[in-house]
Amino acid sequence: MGSFMKNIVILISGSGSNMAAIVQAAQREHWSERLGVRVAAVISNQPDAAGLKQAHGVATQAVDHKAFATREAFDAALQHAIDAYAPTLVVLAGFMRILTPAFVRHYEGRLINIHPSLLPAFTGLNTHQRALDAGCKVAGATVHRVTSELDHGEILAQAVVPVLAGDTAATLAARVLTQEHIIYPQVIASLLQAGVT
């Protein structure tokens, strides 16, 4: 079965908590035996990303974006590193780089992301503070397909959390992150079960 394994490559920039949740779900739920799937690699654009040390035995690699003169050159090097694993799915898990249209096209249908808001609300950064400033009663996270338009691809799943009196951006972020760790592995497993299309 080994040679028929489907590979997942996870891209991170920081602590890699969503990556760790996915890797742990894969181990706990026996994705390799049940789905013929393995997390093949974790790749970061930050050589010192804490998540590279928390990859639970998965191969890690850094492609430092600062080593490249242009976004296109970085994306080409990143694509080369990813394609070495012939991935069925490329999973953005706190990957803080805007990807070029050519890169997104190359992985069309195989590239997913998690965003810490209930899309289409609050695309981009500082989502939790913006939700608080807007007086939202709920917040949450969205797993979506990646298209060349930032945070606009097809929504695959959402999780909703209440906004509580006295919330700060940090307390709201922590509550949302707990849900991210639940829904992201679920979406990946169901996509792979369905045969990613």
Alpha helices by DSSP H, listed for the chain, are 17-28, 31-35, 71-83, 101-106, 127-133, 169-194
- Identify the DSSP state of 152: -
Active-site entry in 65, 115, 128, 181: 115
- 128 tagged catalytic: no
Distance (Å) of CA 133 to CA 2, 124, 127, 167: 50, 15, 10, 11
SS3 66: helix
* Beta bridge partner(s), residue 7: 38, 87
Q: How far apart are CA 178 and CA 188, in angstroms?
A: 17
Q: Let me know the angle formed at the C-alpha of 65 by 63 and 71, rounded to the nearest 5 degrees.
A: 120
Q: Let me know the angle formed at the C-alpha of 98 by 153 and 82, rounded to the nearest 5 degrees.
A: 85
- Own/partner contacts of 130-138, CB < 8 Å, gap of 24 or more, are 131/163, 131/172, 132/163, 132/167, 132/168, 132/169, 132/172, 136/163, 137/162, 137/163, 138/162, 138/163
By annotation, the residues acting in catalysis are: 115
